[in-house]
Each structure stands twice: as structure tokens, then as C-alpha cells.
Amino acid sequence: MEELIPISLFLGAFAMVFGIRYFSNKEKMAMIERGIDPGIHKATPKPFLSLKFGLLLVGLGIGLIVALFLSRAMFSNDMNHNEQGQAVAIYFGCIGIFGGLGLIVSYAIEKKWLDEQQ
């Protein structure tokens, strides 16, 4: 019974991907038959996507470093179980804060660039 779980998961995933592609193709073919442009290759350019992810990752990295220094400063090397749980909370908090700051900086850069373009 245990060996059926991975097999059924694989078959289910394959059927899902196949079904999505099949019905997407069928929908586009129906649009072409009716004379409607299916919108293939009309993706809007996203010039700041790499900047956004770069700043997010830099923010996460800075958050991890700050969390490391905070946990080392607040709790000495001999931490008990309760203090280790608090150190984990510091890590997640700093990751969220600095990741969010990276996205805010990315937004400010994009807004400034768009204002200069207009």
C-alpha cells in the first residue's frame, strides 16, 4: 500500500499538467477558429522584476545577518530550549522586516523611474 502513494502522486501530477496543457491548447484553437486573437506572445515587459527579486534577496540576507548578531548579543552561547525558540522568532522577524524593506526600496526605485519617464 505504501508504494502506491508515490505512484499515484506521480500519475496525478502528470494528469494535471497534461490536462492543463490540453485544455489551454483547445481554448486557443477555438479562439483562432472564431477569428479572435488568442494573445500568444503578448506578455508585458517587466523591466524591474530582477531588481525586485535582487533587492528582496539582499534584504533577506541582511535580515539573516542582523538576526544572527541579535541572537548572539541577546543570548549568550549557552542557550536553553526556551531561548532557542526566541532566537528562531528573531530570525523570522528579521527576514520579514528586511525582505519587506527590500521590496519597498524596489517600489521607490520603480516609481522614481516611471515619474522620470513621464
What is the average per-residue pLDDT within 78-105? 80
φ, ψ at 59 (rounded to 5°): -60, -40
pLDDT of res. 59: 87
Alpha-carbon span 73 to 23, nearest angstrom: 57
Q: Give the pLDDT band of residue 103 (cuts 50, 70, 90).
A: confident
The cell for 114 is: 516611471
pLDDT of res. 41: 62
What share of the chain in percent tops pLDDT 70?
A: 86
Q: Say what the pTM is.
A: 0.53
How many secondary structure helices (H) and strands (E) does the chain include? 3, 0
| Structural contact between residues 81 and 46, judged by C-beta atoms closer than 8 angstroms | no
At 35-73, the pLDDT tens digits run 888 776 666 667 788 788 888 888 888 888 888 888 778
The cell for 86 is: 526566541
